[in-house]
Each structure stands twice: as structure tokens, then as C-alpha cells.
Amino acid sequence: MKKTSLDTLPAEGGLGDEPLLAVDNLHVEFATRAGTVRAVNGVSYSLGPGETLAVLGESGSGKSVTAQAIMGILDMPPARIPKGEIRFRGTDLLKLSDEARTQVRGQRIAMIFQDALSALNPVFTVGWQISEMFRVHRGMSKRDAMIKAVELMDRVRIPAAKQRVNDYPHQFSGGMRQRIMIAMSIALDPEVLIADEPTTALDVTVQAQIMELLAELQRESNMGMILITHDLGVVADVADKIAVMYAGRIVENAPVHDIYRNPAHPYTKGLLESIPRVDLKGQELYAIKGLPPNLLDMPTGCAFHPRCPYRQDNCVTDNPPLYEINGRRNSACHYWREVLDGDQG
């Protein structure tokens, strides 16, 4: 395979028709002793500058694996990408040389992880870890890089940044640690920020603060953001569009308000109905019956059919394509019309 060099990567600016980031028919599989696990089966989504895409799904739905494939931080092997493209400004990242890929990572596409305590290195100070970005990628001196680190800590609103720059991660609270993680990821003004469940490990009040901070940073820099979460509550305020994943596929994607108002896939509908609501207090909370499928032994036809209240005979045999509902949204359900109408056929 011919490797493209970094020089062919367009700089910031004119994108033409090409979105900032486009994932196209991506497949990722893992070789395990029990067999090949197909974690991602033909995922496509795109992201523009300043746009926020929320990728929703339960554990094992392939949402994090997709993100790691974009970052290029999957362990290969055991992971393998047999098919698909990840185009960043029109260049397929999967065809880049390792060296060119490293140049994109962290500088142009950055990532925030779920648990900031384990994601930060315990033996280096937070200042050292943030300033490393400037020392390694920008060739700054230790002192200048440290000054930049303090600036960034101020920017993500860590109180007394100057005094705390030489503290270690374990000396910070969970919310502050996530802020440090964010400071590190935005250090070099990336064009795409991938946030993999950035608030899952945090208190509810702190969650809101972190989401607010991310939204604010995004407005300032116009970066595109992929927000990976299983928390529908987090999504509503910040996302522009949503992609719902199930068993390694996107089952529905749509602008955020369309989905909340009227889901077009039974799985999305189930997720929305299982959110606790104040006006339904006292009633039993809805739960989607059954368990997510075993990726080693996927159901025939539509992967969701064993749990689906709309199931018909052809769902067991035919895997639905991603039907286009209108120009803006898709659903991978044979009976999306019935789901939209709320009519349980």
C-alpha cells in the first residue's frame, strides 16, 4: 500500500465539499482466542468545524473503538481494520505512514478519556504533562512550555493554577483532573476533539461544569467535537447531531432535536423511554428487555431483533440497511415509519 506523506494533508482553511472529518464504512475487528470479534461493522459519520456530534450507545456498541480507530491508538494486532476510510480534511488517515499519523495525533485530532485519574501519568506533575505537548511538538524550552501550561490551566479554570502546576494528578479532585486532561488535549489547538465519556466518572454537578467548559472552548476555537457517551441527558444541551450505535453499527443518526422529539429506531426509542422523568415519578421505569448481543455470536438479520417490540419475521432474516428518512436523518429499521408514528405494529 502506498503511504501518503504528511505534506499532502491540507492545512486549515478551505475544505471544499469535504467535511472536516469523515468516517466512511469503517470496519474494526479483534482477533481473540474465541474467534473474530467484529466490534465495528460499517460505521459512517461526518463532522464539520464547530460542530458537535454525539455518539450514543451502550458498552460494547463500538463507539469507543471507532474513536480509537480515528486516533490511531488501537492495539494492532489484535485489532484490524479490514475495510473503510477515515478522512481528515480529505486525506485517508489509514493510508498515512506511522510518522505522519503521529503528527496528526494530539496536534490536529486530540482526545479526552473517561477516567482522568488513570489517564494521567501518576509519576509526573500535571504541569510537566501539559507542557510536554509544547516541548515535544513545538520545541519550546522547559520554562516557556511551563508558562504555557499555567496559561492553559487558567483557561480551563483551575483555581490557583500557578501554585498547582507542580502538583501531581492524585492531588486534584476528579473534576479538576478532567480539566487538566482537557487542558492537555486543547494545548495545540486541535481541529477535532474526541471526548470519550468525559463526564462518566464525575459527580452530576461537576458533569455540567465540564460539559459547559467543553462547549465554551469549542465556541472559542471552532473545533469539531465528537462526544461519546451513553448518557442521553448530557447530549441534549451540547450536541448538534446524534449517531446512535448498536452492536457496531449506526442504527440511527439525526439532528439532536429530531431524535428527542421523535425517534425513528426502536432502540433509540427505548433509550429515551428509559430516562427517569419527574412527571412520571412513581411509575415503573422502562427498560429495554434482554441483553446487548454477544459480538462473537451476532443474531441473524437485524442485531436488535431479539429485544425489539416492533419485530416482524423479516427482521430475523434481513439486516436492514440505513434507510434515509429525509435529507437529514437515517434509521436502520425496516419499520421506521411505525416507530415514528409510535404505532407498535
By the criterion CB under 8 A, which residues form the site for another protein?
Answer: 71, 73, 102-107, 110-111, 113, 115, 118-125, 132-133, 136-137, 168, 170, 181, 184
Can you tell me which residue has the cell 434515509?
A: 324
Count the alpha carbons within 13 Å of 293 in the hemisphere toward its beta carbon.
25
Please say which residue, 180 or 234, places its beta carbon nearer to another protein: 180
Phi and psi for 166 in degrees, rounded to 5? -100, 15
Place of cell 475487528: 29
CB of 114 to another protein, least distance (A): 9
Instruction: Tell me if 167 sits within 8 A of 177, measured CB to CB.
Output: no
Question: Is 122 exposed, middle or buried (CB count within 10 Å of its CB: 0-12, 13-18, 19+)?
Answer: exposed
Whether residue 34 contacts residue 17, with contact meaning beta carbons closer than 8 Å, is answered with: no
Q: Are 161 and 180 in contact (CB under 8 A)?
A: no
Residue closer to another protein, measured from CB, 83 or 135: 135
- For residues 193 and 213, which CB has a smaller minimum distance to another protein in the complex? 193
Write down the least CB distance from residue 88 to another protein, Å: 14
Q: Find the shortest distance in angstroms from Cβ 269 to another protein.
A: 34
Nearer to another protein, 107 or 312 (CB): 107
Give min distance, CB of 85 to another protein, in A: 21
Nearer to another protein, 113 or 267 (CB): 113
11 or 123: CB nearest another protein = 123
Q: Measured from the CB of residue 64, what is the shortest distance to another protein in angstroms?
A: 11
CB of 27 to another protein, least distance (A): 22
Q: Which is nearer to another protein, 118 or 344 (CB)?
A: 118
Distance CA 258, CA 329 (A): 8
What is the C-alpha separation between 3 and 322, in angstroms, rounded?
32
Q: Are 103 and 109 in contact (CB under 8 A)?
A: no
Q: Which residues contact 160 (CB under 8 A, 6 or more apart)?
A: none
Say which DSSP state 303 is in.
T
Residue holding cell 503528527?
Answer: 103
d(CA 277, CA 275): 6
**Closest distance to another protein from the beta carbon of 119 (Å):** 5
